[in-house]
Structure 1
Amino acid sequence: MIEMNSGGVQVVENSDVVIFSVKPQVVQKVVSQLKPLLTEKKLLVSVAAGIKLSDLQEWAGHGRFIRVMPNTPAAVGEAASVMSLGDTATKEDGDLIAELFGAIGKIWRADEKHFDAITGLSGSGPAYIFLAIEAMADGGVAAGLPRDLALGLASQTVLGAASMVIKSGKHPGQLKDDVASPGGTTIAGIHELERGGFRGILMNTVVAAANRSREFSKR
């Protein structure tokens, strides 16, 4: 059943699970303002990047908190989410949140110490792939394809390649080798990627975003 509520206080009062989906810089203010209502009877969840469980638990006054890092493909049911349980969150609490976030994609459990790296990889990762799709489509246009066709082919190629990694169980390197025949077109393209430092650029991108997340968590 869906109920309409006019304000945050009423929402919290009527909820067993409270999810804080606000900007990191206002999380403390929001949690602190609602603290009188945030009893341990309520399971609390934060999706704010860079905000540690220790801080969330201190602001709420108890440890029945779960931190989740989803990403924007949640909008189409393909999120890559990770969660970490607070001090007094139970296995049943974790199972409930896994079920809730499992409805919008896949979810993993990990120690909170990995969350900055997770933010750099999957949290920010969709933007890297959007840029790659755009660049591939631009390459198709430069090679003579109509824009709509180039973008459609680039998008479907990324989707198909990701599906092959997930469904085949093969290492991406093996899948790459399978399609790169000697002296062929694919290895010629891969050669250009390697000359441009493609692997290193992607690795450095993830590390830079992870480091930025660490900066947020220290504030």
Structure 2
Amino acid sequence: MELGFGLATGTAVLTLLSVRAWKPTEIVVGTDGVLVRHPFSKTYLPYASLGHVATEGDRLRLFPKNEDDATLQMQGEPALVVAAASRIEEARAAGAAGDSPARVRELLDRKGRTLAEWRKALFGLLQGGDYRNATVTDEALLAVLEDPGEDRGRRIGAAMILRIAAPEAAPRIRIAAETSADEELRAALESAAEEELDDATLERALGLGVTRGS
């Protein structure tokens, strides 16, 4: 029996062999939860609902929060069971760390870079495996976009990414624009919701080369 780690788009697919039924059980370890596929059924347990993972010999058990009974129980070779439990805990910990608002804000910061460098870094999140994994999610970007107290550059950066990665978020980008009293920011968000944001509009919103408040 083998335990295979197939890493792709932030997920690991693990295969345990049921000792009792001699039928394969597949465990999909994602960034948001665990999906267990039995031959004739499947069960999904999000990390938000996962209390703890336990191993006992050839048994792997997943317990929901505040419950004494395991929702999911699987069997396999002891070494593979331990490996699966470890992978689940690693993914859950990575998701908890990566979803932190501070980490998302750091990734969106311009940090004194030129507009071209900043654009490249933002779009690099879409191509380098950071997007929709433990680092950046649609929800995290929307939280930044819709926070009126957030830095305007980060809000615009979030809108620029969402326009490409989540076109369905365009209405929320427009709402963020409509509710802003900052005319330059509003113009930038309106453009970001419809098309690629041009440098002139972006420069005005970020106060580059112009005197704000005049």
| TM-score normalised by the chain length of structure 1 | 0.28
Q: Which structure is higher in helix share?
A: 1
Q: Which structure is higher in strand share?
A: 2
